[in-house]
Amino acid sequence: MSIPIADHVRDIPKSGIRDFFEIVQSMADVISLGIGEPDFVTPWHIREAAIYSLEKGRTGYTSNLGLPRLRRAISDTVQRATGVQYDPLREVLVSVGVSEAIDVALRAILNPGDEVLYHEPCYVSYSPSVALAFGTARAIPTRAEDHFSLRADALEAAVGPRTKAVMLNFPTNPTGATMDRAQIEAIAGVCIRHNLAVLTDEIYSELTYDDREHFSIVSVPGMKERTIYLHGLSKAYAMTGFRIGYACGPNSIIEAMMKIHQYSILCAPIMSQDAAVEALERGEPSMLRMRREYALRRNYVVSALNEMGLDCFMPRGAFYVFPKITSTGLTSQEFSLRLLHEKRVAVVPGTAFGASGEGHVRCSYATGLEQIKIAMQRIGEFCVELRADQQARTAA
Binding positions for ligand PLP, rule: CB under 6 A: 36, 97-99, 123, 169, 173, 201, 203, 232, 234, 240, 245
42/328 with CB nearer ligand PLP: 42
CB of 1 to ligand PLP, least distance (A): 35
127/234 with CB nearer ligand PLP: 234
Q: How far apart are CA 220 and CA 190, in angstroms?
A: 12
24/386 with CB nearer ligand PLP: 24
Q: How many angstroms separate the Cα of 316 from the Cα of each of 49, 300, 343? A: 32, 14, 28
- Sign of torsion, CA 87 93 98 104? negative
Q: How many angstroms separate the Cα of 333 from the Cα of each of 16, 20, 107, 205, 330? A: 10, 9, 33, 29, 8
**Pair 353, 362: CB distance under 8 Å:** yes
360: left (phi over 0), alpha (psi -120 to 50) or beta: beta
CB of 5 to ligand PLP, least distance (A): 24
CB of 102 to ligand PLP, least distance (A): 7
CB of 88 to ligand PLP, least distance (A): 20
Alpha-carbon 189 to chain mean position: 24
36/128 with CB nearer ligand PLP: 36
274/383 with CB nearer ligand PLP: 274
CB of 235 to ligand PLP, least distance (A): 7
335/353 with CB nearer ligand PLP: 353
CB of 307 to ligand PLP, least distance (A): 28
Nearest residue to ligand PLP by CB is 97
**Residue-wise over 193-231: b if at least 16 C-beta within 10 A, else e?**
eeebbbbbbbbbbbbbbeeeebbbbbbbeebbebbbbbb
